Chain A
């Protein structure tokens, strides 16, 4: 699932490690989600969105809306 994680992280000057620490997951998890190799569960997706102060759909791109 495509997402804006990398952009959102860059806007805040956060490293993958910073984000991983805030989410209490491994850096590999952040990398896998960011690169679209792993789709997070709904609770983790909510946690990510809330961390950025956004709605889930502002972070993750719905597969049905992908070009």
Chain B
């Protein structure tokens, strides 16, 4: 999101995204700490385990909202393309991992890392777009 100058949609995205990530960090510490010290079971354990996922899932909605609100069609197009590259990377890794897992060559995949992995791929795809721009031959 930093590759382009701020506009109202990007500003709103930041104001929504940052508090959610702070909330995620706080809930993550609270959840893991409570589970480790209190050893809860049943629905309490499930609730504590799910707590950090709530703000994280909300960031996905915030990303979607950003795409809806972005008025610069070129910027929106670039983000969508980068997101599709990231989805492709996650699906490719999941597919390869699945076959390796079926053969017993690797452990169960840490599925909770799918979204962070997607975010890394999304950022890399945006970086790739910037590099491609700089390498592009201008007419």
Interface residues of chain A, those whose CB is within 8 Å of chain B, are: 2, 24-29, 32-33, 35-38, 40-41, 44
Report how many A-B pairs have Cβ atoms within 8 Å: 38
Bound complex: CA of A32 vs CA of B132, how far in Å?
12
Q: Is the beta-carbon distance between B139 and A35 smaller than 8 angstroms?
A: yes
B74 at the interface (CB under 8 A from A): yes
Interface residues of chain B, those whose CB is within 8 Å of chain A, are: 3-5, 7, 71-75, 77, 133, 136, 138-139
Q: Given A28-B4, A35-B138, is A41 in contact with B72 using a C-beta cutoff of 8 Å?
A: no
Contacts of B73 in A (CB 8 A): 25, 29, 40-41, 44
Kindly provide the distance from the CB of A6 to the nearest chain B CB, expressed in whole angstroms. Answer: 9
Bound complex: CA of A28 vs CA of B74, how far in Å?
8
Bound complex: CA of A2 vs CA of B5, how far in Å?
26
Contact of B75 among A28, A35, A37, A41 (CB under 8 A): A28
Contacts of A36 in B (CB 8 A): 139
Q: Is the beta-carbon distance between A29 and B75 smaller than 8 angstroms?
A: yes
Bound complex: CA of A31 vs CA of B56, how far in Å?
35
Q: Is the beta-carbon distance between A38 and B138 smaller than 8 angstroms?
A: no
Bound complex: CA of A38 vs CA of B77, how far in Å?
9
Q: Is the beta-carbon distance between A24 and B71 smaller than 8 angstroms?
A: yes
Q: Which residue of B lies closest to A24 (CB)?
A: B71
Kindly provide the distance from the CB of B66 to the nearest chain A CB, expressed in whole angstroms. Answer: 15
Kindly provide the distance from the CB of A18 to the nearest chain B CB, expressed in whole angstroms. Answer: 15
Kindly provide the distance from the CB of B85 to the nearest chain A CB, expressed in whole angstroms. Answer: 17
Contacts of A33 in B (CB 8 A): 74
Q: Is the beta-carbon distance between A38 and B74 smaller than 8 angstroms?
A: yes
Contacts of B72 in A (CB 8 A): 24-26, 29
Bound complex: CA of A28 vs CA of B133, how far in Å?
10
Bound complex: CA of A16 vs CA of B54, how far in Å?
42
Q: Is the beta-carbon distance between A32 and B74 smaller than 8 angstroms?
A: yes
